[in-house]
Amino acid sequence: MSPAGRPPAGHGSRSSEDFGRGLAVREVLDVSSLTRARLLAGEGGLDRIVERLNVMEVPDVLPWVKPHELLLTTGYPLRDTPAALTGLVGALDDRGLAALAIKLGRYIDELPEAMLAEADRRDFPVILLPDDVGFDDILNQVLTGILNRQAAALARYDEVHRALVQIVLAGGGLDEVAVETASLLGGAVLLVGIDGRVLATAGPPADLEAARAAAAEVHNAPGTGKIGASFPDRDRFASVPVVAGTLDHGRLVAFRRDGALGSGAVTILERAATVAALVITQRLAVSAVESKYQSDLVRDLVEGRAIDAARLLTQSRSFGWDLERPLVVVVSELEPPASAGTERQETVERLAVLWRSAVRSWDPVAAVVAFSDEVVTLLGADDDARARRVVEAVAARVGGELRRRGWKFSVGIGRVCHGLAALPAGYAQARRSVQVGRQMHGPGEIAHFNDLGVFRLLSLVPEGEELRSYVGEVLGPLAWSDDAEAVDLRETLQVLLETNLNVAEASRRLHFHYNTLRYRIGKLERTLGPFSQDPDLRLNLMLALQVIRMRGIAHKP
């Protein structure tokens, strides 16, 4: 901008709510000591915030400047090198300063055109100070304005907090908190749970759609909780976490169509998030009592302690469950299974919340409860295939959120149960599936009881000397050696047994020449016995290999 004057005060101005941390540069120019100051360059930066002031007394001032400063100078430190002013503008802007105010005539007669051009390019305000105004007057008046603004902002935030807390004291819920927050911000507000489910909304429908898009962006950015830099109209959105203690309950997302959401709006949103966390905590306290009754009911059913079936069915209907249909018991267990403590229990409860929310998409009347170290679901399913499809979909949906928290979970699925009396067997099957699935594939797997096969029987044998002895007797030196040849021979034996000693098929799978495999068979039989002629020996060999696969036995005790 030319030195002829300054733009109108209303140009591009924001509300005082946005400037709770300080004054905009345009507002600084309105104090009495600066009424005759002129803006030389950087008109686009008049909305920069001034939180503090500094005086440039030495050429190497950069180590002592701070963001949001208005830097005052007579030019004395640069009197011998005025060309350095161009580089100074870039350095100050890179450090987040608000503006540079300079006096001309005594030490520097004029500012380089390159400096003013660089300031315009960066939208960094450069202000010409009146000769007869002292720095002490500027410091006093601007700092007084900043303190008054901050005091007013604090009073405003206190008023906002009281209004939001009053909602809770009056028995209001998340919907009322969202409505009040949207009114305070003049936009749309969306409260989203950790599973991405919308818990409360308020504001114009069109703005809510924009807020939903931002909420999805935040939910899909694990670990950041921020709106991506490439997101359209990013400065019109704000997102803050809803946290109570160590528990993350979701995020509060706001959108304002008529302007950017500044620091003041974010502060209001943070106050609202605190109150929303209080409401959610109250809900959880109430639901914890109900959850205990629900868990006790399901535990009675799956452990066979139910005596009055009619009473239990009546209670289950009051919880919104339908247990008068074919059911499948599903057990979800956190990994590692041996861990314990408050964090684990909180995560089990969080797993139950996420699992319940996801299951409702397929079965709104399913029972989902948390036990001390697992989540149990009574899922409606007429056949095993449907149960598997639903569980896989639910696990995929829940898994992403838990992985962000550093947890895995294993899932076991029992067979279809017809009648309440069959639930204990279904529960035992699901728990057995979790155990065997973990032993076979490691943590984080989904296992169905129908797929366990011989592993069901092997899992019933306590791991110890008996199994180790059996494997050692059957496989001999191949059982314990982990050298390349022994591992290779075990793999060859496994493929031979799987192909029912079909040498041609085994050669194809192993990528061996037919004669090479014949040689290996001879070597195996010299070590293990004539398994090609002895079906009982083949059975023993297969069982021993499955024990190794399942139990992970890799060394001789």
Tell me: the pLDDT tens digits for 404-441? 667 788 999 999 999 999 999 999 999 989 888 887 77
The better pLDDT of the pair 186, 259 is held by: 186
Distance CA 137, CA 406 (A): 56
Domain 303-458 belongs to what topology? Answer: Alpha-Beta Plaits (3.30.70)
pLDDT at residue 232, rounded to an integer = 53
Give me the amino acid identity at 548: I
**pLDDT, average across residues 79-105:** 86
Distance CA 327, CA 495 (A): 38
What is 461-551's CATH superfamily? PucR C-terminal helix-turn-helix domain (1.10.10.2840)
Omega of the bond prior to 204 within 30 degrees of 0, cis?
Answer: no
Q: 38-47, 264-273, 426-435, 523-532: which range is least confident on average?
A: 264-273
Q: 119-128, 244-253, 419-428, 498-507: which range is least confident on average?
A: 244-253
Spans of all domains in the chain: 16-147, 171-283, 303-458, 461-551
pLDDT at residue 50, rounded to an integer = 92
Three-class DSSP category at 276: helix
What are 376's two structure tokens? 């149990």
Q: Kindly give, in sequence order, each residue whose CB lies less than 8 Å from that of residue 28, ignoring residues fewer than 6 positions away.
A: 34, 50, 70, 99, 142, 145
Tokens 């060394």 label which residue? Answer: 555
Question: Which pairs count as long-range contacts for 346-349, CB under 8 Å and 24+ apart, including other chains?
Answer: 346/246, 346/247, 347/402, 347/405, 347/407, 348/372, 348/373, 348/374, 348/375
Q: Which of 379, 373, 382, 383 is nearest to 395 (CA)?
A: 379
Give the pLDDT band of residue 9 (cuts 50, 70, 90): very low
Q: Which CATH number fits domain 16-147: 3.40.1390.20, 3.40.50.1220, 3.40.190.10, 3.40.640.10?
A: 3.40.1390.20
pLDDT at residue 220, rounded to an integer = 53
pLDDT tens digit string along 213-226?
Answer: 777 766 555 444 45
Give the pLDDT band of residue 25 (cuts 50, 70, 90): very high
What are 77's two structure tokens? 């430190």
Distance CA 177, CA 61 (A): 47
Q: Which of 341, 424, 338, 342 is nearest to 376 (CA)?
A: 424
pLDDT at residue 553, rounded to an integer = 46
Q: Which of 233, 151, 238 is nearest to 186 (CA)?
A: 238
Whether the per-residue pLDDT at 11 is higher than 60: the answer is no
Whether the per-residue pLDDT at 341 is higher than 50: the answer is yes
Other CB atoms within a 10 A radius of the CB of residue 194 amount to: 20
pLDDT tens digit string along 132-160?
Answer: 889 999 999 999 988 888 887 777 778 88
Give the chain's mean pLDDT. Answer: 82
Other CB atoms within a 10 A radius of the CB of residue 400 amount to: 14
Q: Which CATH number fits domain 171-283: 3.30.450.40, 3.30.70.260, 3.40.190.10, 2.60.120.10?
A: 3.30.450.40
